[in-house]
A = this chain, B = another copy of it.
Amino acid sequence: MPRPTKLNPERGDARTRLLEAARDTIRRKGFSATTVDDLCKAAGVTKGAYFHHFETKEALGVAAAQFWAETTGAYFAEAPYHAPEDPLERVRAYIAFRRSLIAGDLAEFTCLVGTMTQEAYASHPAIRDACAHSMLDHAATLEPDIALAIAARAMKPEWTATDLARHIQAAIQGAFILAKATGDPGQARSSLDHLARYIDLLFDPAEPPKDQ
């Protein structure tokens, strides 16, 4: 069996395979409980390869958060929830899309950076910052649509589009914790239903958007 090379990467290069292994293993066991050997085994590489690509375990945590930001960023950019013409409908569709992802194995649909944040926030500032970037950058993708929805209704809310976008992320993270505690993804879906209802109530349909 020929070893995968950079120019002929059947399984991707060692670095990518290690980051994929990190994504999957850390979501299941957490950052601290995931050993370097775990990752090497899962990626099918040796420690030599690992430490060739990552100086320390912490550096891998940072890289994994960045990898998460890149891959999920591309995934959400291509997702179908951007289709609706009305900005508020796009926000609604986003939440519905997130809800639709909540199924099957907990370790496969929950959020890597949300998980790592809890372990790293005090001990590994570099990981925490990378997680914060991933989370906040993703939240920021919702801001324009929220701002448009506010403007279309001439609302003067006490909160900002940034606030609401981040609250949406917080609610999703919380829903994941509930699902992990109960072992029941349905708990997370139920929580997202409440979040969707909040958006509905906040942008009161009794005051429909004005056509421009």
State the CA gap A74–B117 with chains docked (Å). Answer: 29
A interface residue numbers (CB < 8 A to B): 28-33, 106-107, 113-115, 117-119, 121-123, 128, 131-132, 135-136, 158-159, 163-164, 166-167, 169-175, 177-178, 180-183, 187-188, 190-191, 193-195, 197-198, 201-202
Asked whether A28 and B122 contact (CB < 8 A) given A166-B178, A177-B117, A202-B201, the answer is yes
Inter-subunit contact A166/B187 (CB<8 Å): yes
A118 and B166 within 8 A (CB)? no
A119 near B119 (CB under 8 angstroms)? yes
Copies of this chain present in the complex amount to 2
Q: Known: A170-B175, A197-B202. Contact between A181 and B32, CB under 8 A? A: no
Cα A123 to Cα B178 in complex, Å, equals 16
A33 to B: closest C-beta gap in Å: 4
Set of chain B residues within 8 Å of A198, measured between Cβ atoms:
194, 197-198, 201
Residues in B with CB closer than 8 Å to A174 are 169-175, 177
- Rounded to whole Å, the gap between the CB of A127 and the closest CB of chain B is 10
**23 pairs from A and B in contact (CB 8 Å cutoff):** A29-B122, A30-B119, A33-B119, A33-B123, A106-B122, A107-B122, A114-B118, A117-B177, A117-B180, A118-B119, A118-B180, A121-B181, A136-B181, A158-B193, A163-B190, A169-B178, A170-B171, A170-B174, A170-B188, A170-B191, A171-B171, A173-B174, A174-B177
Q: Which residue of B lies closest to A194 (CB)?
A: B167
Closest chain B CB from A27 CB (angstroms): 9
Contacts of A117 in B (CB 8 A): 177, 180-181
- Distance between A117 CB and nearest chain B CB, rounded to angstroms: 5
Contact A170 B163 (CB under 8 A): no
CB < 8 Å: which of B106, B135, B177 contacts A170? B177
Assembled-state Cα–Cα distance A193/B191 (Å): 17
- Chain B min CB distance to A160 (Å): 9
* Separation of A181 and B68 alpha carbons in the complex (Å): 15
